[in-house]
Chain A
Amino acid sequence: MKAYIEIIRNSFLTGITYRVNTLLRIFGAVVSLLVQISLWYVLFQSKPDATSHIGAIKLSEMVTYTIVSTLTHIIISNQVIMRLDNKIKTGQIAMDLIKPMSLKAILGSEMIGTTLYNVIFRSLPILLIGIFLFSFQFSGWLNLAFFIIALFNAAVIFFELSYIVGLTGFWYTTVWHMGRVLDNAIRVFGGSFIPLWFFPESLYHISMFLPFRFIYYTPILIYIGKVDMKGVIEIILQQWVWIAILIIIEKVIWKFGIKKLVIQGG
């Protein structure tokens, strides 16, 4: 247990080593948030609300959605694919595999450390901007509590997806491009920029069969209060089902992949 804490601590410390990097990333996130919100202001210009699959959507709800989505992105994002890609390509993965700890536990702990750093140094500025510059809605403690549970599950789902994609590097050596594919799939079907409620019927149906909407769309629905209690429980249960499915897939891939692994270099 203490080993996990040490890894979390070390990766947190690694994060704060590069101060300029931290500042620039905060700046980048703020700019991206401003662009998205301005876009929604323009789109909503003449109308009080917009029609969607789940009823009328107000501008203030859309702004809140965008802010929560940006925060979610900062909190759940991980560098698992980039890290694995790099480790496999350079052979550095050997150094993780000689430790009495599973690779997944090492990567998972590293991710928690980075997340901790992100929550403290990157999400706070966004939250402050949301509260003071825009009409960021606080929608009650109960919603917040369920949102946090759903957000945790979302982070696990995203981690599992990244880990699975990363493990395919055992066959293909380099996987960062697949990471881009995954990112884009999540961007579209997860609803990180455009909520699924604005999707055309066909795309909306496709997204129902994919795990991606459980990363952004459904947790944010819970926060904004667009689902009732029954819906909330359903979402969380479905998240768990997806986590179970992804863990099974990951175990199978690991079992075959580890035999394929070629440690590159000397």
Chain B
Amino acid sequence: MSIIKVENLTKQFKRTKRKKGFFGAIKTLFSNEYEIKTAVHDVSFSVEKGEIVGYIGPNGAGKSTTIKTLVGILVPTSGNAEVKGIIPYQSRIENARNIGVVFGQRTQLWWDIPVVDSINLMRHMYKIQDALFEENMKIFSQVLGIDEFINTPVRQLSLGQRMRADLCVSLLHSPDILYLDEPTIGLDVVVKENIRNFIKKINKEMGTTIVLTTHDMDDIEMLCHRLIVIDKGHLMYDGDMGSLKAKYGSNERLTIITEKSDVDLKGLLALGVSEFKYNGIKADIQYETDKINAMGILEWMMQRCRVKDFSIHQVNIEEVIRKMYRELDERSKMMK
């Protein structure tokens, strides 16, 4: 049984058409012209219980709009969403009991008072049982180190501490579903690592279903079982990481350092190399693994010059996504 179901979701925003310049701005005051912007267009997907789904796409793709519909704070223009059998934008408060939400760029903590006061408020707002509360607090102190700054006013916390505290308050009631909107934005490597481990642990031990939007490809590589990619409101990909790599990432990169020579690498193109750069010393060669392998290229090179060093770069998800975004961008330019 799917815990989240999204069917043909479309959300359009109406906004006043703005004209350029000073007089344009004045004209805008009196004009009635609107333009319709479609943030999400006919998106359908479903999420199973216990999954960690990465919901990714370039800036302005419609990720946040989808998440906001799922948490019940935006009403879709058409289509449906269902979360644990509840239509979130119709029963927002009922839905709120089942979910935890962290928006990386905002906080739900009380700004001027210590973290512990926000925690106590959540405890009563979600009517958390004492036993569950104490158990969860124990986990959060261990893994997130909440204890260190529980009595500090939120405005004095570092970004990393604040994010840990935000995670803590959004998970206190052990929600079935956790929405994370860029949870690692602006954090240092250690804190990122810490938070990723925590998310993993929550998913494994509590069976929490997690929907994660992020621009950090390491988040995706380390956390997500499955990826949903959206661009300009359209669903572009939905499936596991392996097939995405296969689809967009059959490229590998080989860097070769040679002694100075003037070999023309054009000959490689016929063998299955898709791109190369060579300045006489350092060669950067991209190739498709189903046509040629690193050995083949190295042999070809060694016949023509002295190779001093080389390294092979595996495709990582970042390159896959970069390639995918670029293709999406080109495709939409062509359509125009």
A residues near B (Cβ < 8 Å) are 2-3, 5-7, 9-10, 13-14, 17-18, 91-92, 94-95, 97-102, 258-259, 261-263, 265-266
The reply to whether B93 and A101 contact each other, CB–CB distance below 8 Å, is: yes
Cα A102 to Cα B125 in complex, Å, equals 11
Q: Does B106 contact A (CB under 8 A)?
A: yes
Cα A228 to Cα B235 in complex, Å, equals 71
4 A-B pairs with the lowest CB-CB distances in the bound complex, closest first: A2-B124, A100-B96, A3-B125, A6-B121
The reply to whether B64 and A3 contact each other, CB–CB distance below 8 Å, is: no
Q: Does B287 contact A (CB under 8 A)?
A: no
Q: Does B97 contact A (CB under 8 A)?
A: yes
Chain B contact residues: over half helix, strand or loop, or mixed? Answer: mixed
Minimal Cβ-Cβ distance residue in B for A5: B124
Residue in A5, A92, A98 whose CB lies within 8 Å of B96: A98
The reply to whether B101 and A266 contact each other, CB–CB distance below 8 Å, is: no
The reply to whether B73 and A94 contact each other, CB–CB distance below 8 Å, is: yes
A195 to chain B minimum Cβ distance, whole angstroms, is 38
The reply to whether B93 and A259 contact each other, CB–CB distance below 8 Å, is: no
The reply to whether A10 and B96 contact each other, CB–CB distance below 8 Å, is: no
The reply to whether B121 and A266 contact each other, CB–CB distance below 8 Å, is: no
The reply to whether A266 and B93 contact each other, CB–CB distance below 8 Å, is: no
Residue in A3, A97, A259 whose CB lies within 8 Å of B124: A3
The reply to whether A17 and B113 contact each other, CB–CB distance below 8 Å, is: yes
Residues of B within 8 A of A6 (CB): 117, 120-121, 124-125
The reply to whether A9 and B117 contact each other, CB–CB distance below 8 Å, is: yes
The reply to whether B92 and A97 contact each other, CB–CB distance below 8 Å, is: yes
How many A-B contacts at CB < 8 Å in the complex? 80
Residues A100 and B106 in contact in the complex (CB < 8 Å), given A2-B124, A7-B121, A9-B117:
no
- Tell me the chain B residues, 87-133 only, with Cβ under 8 Å from chain A: 92-94, 96-97, 99, 101, 103, 105-108, 110-113, 117-118, 120-121, 124-127
Cα A94 to Cα B96 in complex, Å, equals 12
Residues of B within 8 A of A263 (CB): 64, 68, 73-74
The reply to whether B121 and A262 contact each other, CB–CB distance below 8 Å, is: no
- Tell me the chain B residues, 65-82 only, with Cβ under 8 Å from chain A: 68, 71-75
Interface size class of B (residues with CB under 8 A): 35 or more
The reply to whether B110 and A97 contact each other, CB–CB distance below 8 Å, is: no
Residues of B within 8 A of A101 (CB): 93, 96, 125
Residues A92 and B106 in contact in the complex (CB < 8 Å), given A6-B120, A13-B113, A17-B112:
yes
The reply to whether A13 and B108 contact each other, CB–CB distance below 8 Å, is: no
Residues of B within 8 A of A91 (CB): 106
Residues of A within 8 A of B310 (CB): none
Cα A13 to Cα B73 in complex, Å, equals 29
Residue in B13, B117, B120 whose CB lies within 8 Å of A262: B13
Cα A110 to Cα B302 in complex, Å, equals 75
B129 to chain A minimum Cβ distance, whole angstroms, is 13
The reply to whether A14 and B110 contact each other, CB–CB distance below 8 Å, is: yes
Q: Does B176 contact A (CB under 8 A)?
A: no
The reply to whether B112 and A14 contact each other, CB–CB distance below 8 Å, is: yes
Residue with the greatest number of chain B CB neighbours at <10 A, chosen from A2, A5, A101, A266:
A266
Residues of A within 8 A of B94 (CB): 100
The reply to whether B93 and A95 contact each other, CB–CB distance below 8 Å, is: no
Residue in A14, A92, A95, A258 whose CB lies within 8 Å of B75: A258
The reply to whether B73 and A265 contact each other, CB–CB distance below 8 Å, is: no
Cα A261 to Cα B117 in complex, Å, equals 29
List 23 A–B pairs whose Cβ atoms lie within 8 Å, in order of A's numbering: A3-B125, A5-B124, A6-B125, A13-B112, A13-B117, A17-B113, A17-B153, A94-B68, A94-B71, A94-B106, A97-B71, A98-B99, A99-B96, A99-B108, A100-B93, A100-B96, A100-B97, A100-B125, A100-B126, A101-B93, A258-B75, A262-B13, A266-B64
